[in-house]
Structure 1
Amino acid sequence: MTPLILVFCLGIVNFAAHKALLESNHPMLMHVPWFFQALGGRLSLIVEFVMLVGVMIVAASGSTGWALLYALYTALNGVSAWLVFSGRV
C-alpha cells in the first residue's frame, strides 16, 4: 500500500510541474514535437496520466521497483522544471 500512496503523491507533483511548465509559455515549448502541442499541450498531460495509472497498477500489485523508477522520473522532472523556471535553460 505504501508504494501506491508514494506513486500517487509523486503523480501530483509531476502534474503540478507539468502544468506550470505548459502555462509558462517558455520559448522552448515551441520546439517540442507537434503531437505534444496537440490540444494546447493537454495531450502531453494525457500521456503523463497514462504513465501514472500504469505505475499505480503495477505498484498496487506489489512492485516497488516501478515506484522507485517513477520517483527517479519525478526527480528528473523537478530538476528540469527548476532549470526552466530559474532561467538556466
Structure 2
Amino acid sequence: MLLGILFVLGTVNFAVHKAVLESNHPMLDTLPQSFTANGGKLSLVIEFCVLIVAMALSDNGWPAAAWVYGCYSALNAVTAWLLLNGRV
C-alpha cells in the first residue's frame, strides 16, 4: 500500500515538475543550464532517483522515508502553485 501511495505521489511530482519546466518562468533562468537543457531531462532523472530511493527505503523497513517524500511532494506542489500562478 505504501509503495502505491509513493508511486502516485511520484507521478504527481513528475507532472508538476514538467509543468514548471514548460512554464518558462524567469526563476528557471537562475538554474544551471544542464538542469533545463533538453526539456529538463537531467532534473527529471534526479526526480526519478529521489522517488526510487524513497520507494526502496520504504520497502526495506524505513517508513519514515515515505513521510519525508510526502513532505517533499507537498513542498513541490506549493512551490509549483506559487510559480505557475505568478505569486513569485
Q: Same fold (TM over 0.5)?
A: yes
Mean CA deviation greater in 32-41 or 22-31:
32-41
Q: Deviations over 1:20-68 (max 9, x none)?
A: 0011111111111233124331100000001111111111123210000
Partner of 1:28: 27
Structure 1 unaligned runs (5+)? none
Q: Please, what TM-score do these two structures have when normalized by structure 1?
A: 0.91
Q: Does 1:83 align with 2:82?
A: yes
What do you get for the CA RMSD once the two structures are aligned? 1.1
Large movers: runs of 4+ above 3 Å? none
The whole-number CA distance in structure 2 between the counterparts of 1:70 and 1:35 is 24
- Matched to 1:9, the amino acid is V
Partner of 2:5: 6
Partner of 2:72: 73
- Matched to 1:22, the amino acid is L
Q: Greater relative contact order (Cα 8 A, min sep 6): structure 1 or 2?
A: 1
Q: Please, what TM-score do these two structures have when normalized by structure 2?
A: 0.92
3-state SS, counterpart of residue 63 of structure 1: coil
What percent identity do the matched residue pairs reach?
51
Mean CA deviation greater in 35-44 or 76-85:
35-44
The whole-number CA distance in structure 2 between the counterparts of 1:73 and 1:8 is 14
Structure 2 unaligned runs (5+)? none
